[in-house]
Amino acid sequence: MESELKELASRLEQEISGLNLPSNPENLYQPLRYFLSLGGKRIRPILSILGADLFGAGYEKSKSAALAVELFHNFSLIHDDIMDEAPLRRSQKTVHTKWNSNIAILSGDVLLIKAYQQLCLQENRHIPELMRVFNQMAVEVCEGQQLDMDFENRSIAIDEYIEMIRLKTSVLLGCALEMGAIIADAEDESRKLLYEFGVNLGIAFQIQDDLLDLYADAEKFGKQVGGDIIANKKTILVLKAYALANPLQKEFLANLSQITDPQQKVEQTIGIFAELGIKEEVKKLRDSYFRKALEALDQINVPDQNKQKLRSLAAFLEDREV
């Protein structure tokens, strides 16, 4: 399956490199060429392709919707990096670091518009429903990002965090798959189940990201390992730690935010998490969402062999190290 994913990613990479991005204004379009050239696994557009494939529709029929998903995702990453003050993305400087925040904001805006242009290349009869699903997703992603920022200033429960990542991350995966189903003229119930598969896969994917932020190999990861801890972000790891800690451990966790040396903060956090068994607990939670995703996929009324690519993709995402 990994070779098939790489082949799809390569085809999509060619589509992305072939996008019509003018030369001028240079400070508007050069950042986009730079950011899109950073690559990535292109999981979200691949999901659109596989969502259509599940019901018998081919690559050519779904590729512009897939590109819309990928351009929207990159728009959100450029803006998220500004809000998070992130220095690196895929081991390279973020757009606002390499240029400045104003350029990054405007370049991100153009990517959003380019996403809609791609969506409008689909068959006319599908465009209204594709727009409805895409617009709902776009609003929910913004809601999720706002909740993420709001949560920085107050205590939150694990359920609230799961809802936030559902909005910020998971609905995009669900939307990518559902748009593929729309293009393939799938039945409403199948669309709903495929969306559910994507959302639960997305929650598991984000929980895995939280794990990787702290426990990934630095060279493979491409981002600052422990960046969430250094920034005092309330990830699922932190929330689980507070839920399981005794009073003394909670006091220790609260004091971690006062440590100014990044390496010391990360090392001490890993230490207290090891005491509490946080890595193992969070892996259990991640796996529960992978199971929910596969249960939804199992219920879709298509031949079982049609589901194999999505099952393999889910397994690939569960086992990923970066």
- Residue 182 sits at φ, ψ, to 5 deg, of -60, -45
Q: Does the pLDDT at position 35 exceed 80?
A: yes
Question: pLDDT at position 22, please?
Answer: 95
Q: What is the DSSP letter of 55?
A: T
pLDDT tens figures, 128-174? 999 999 999 999 999 999 999 999 889 999 999 999 999 999 999 99
How many domains in the chain?
Answer: 1
Counted residue by residue, the chain has a size of 322
Domain at 52, CATH number: 1.10.600.10
How confident is residue 40, by pLDDT bands cut at 50, 70 and 90? confident
Mean pLDDT of 12-35: 95
Buried b (16+ CB within 10 A) or exposed e, 155-176: ebeeeebbbbbbbbbbbbbbbb
Which phi and psi (to 5°) does residue 229 adopt?
Answer: -65, -45
DSSP track, 85-133:
T--EETTEE-HHHHS-HHHHHHHHHHHHHHHHHHHTTS-TTTHHHHHHH
Whole-angstrom Cα distance, residue 181 to residue 133?
A: 11
pLDDT, greater one: 224 or 212: 212
pLDDT of 220 strictly over 80: no
**Given this model, what pLDDT does residue 260 score?**
92
Domain range enclosing 65: 2-319
Q: What is the pLDDT of residue 320?
A: 74
What pLDDT is attached to residue 232? Answer: 87
The whole-number average pLDDT for the span 294-313 is 96
Give the pTM. Answer: 0.93
pLDDT tens digits for 141-152? 999 999 999 998
pLDDT of 224 strictly over 70: no
Contact status, residue 275 vs residue 241, Cβ threshold 8 Å: no
Residues 254, 246: Cα–Cα separation, whole Å: 12
Helix axis angle, 43-53 to 2-17, nearest 10°: 110
DSSP 225: T
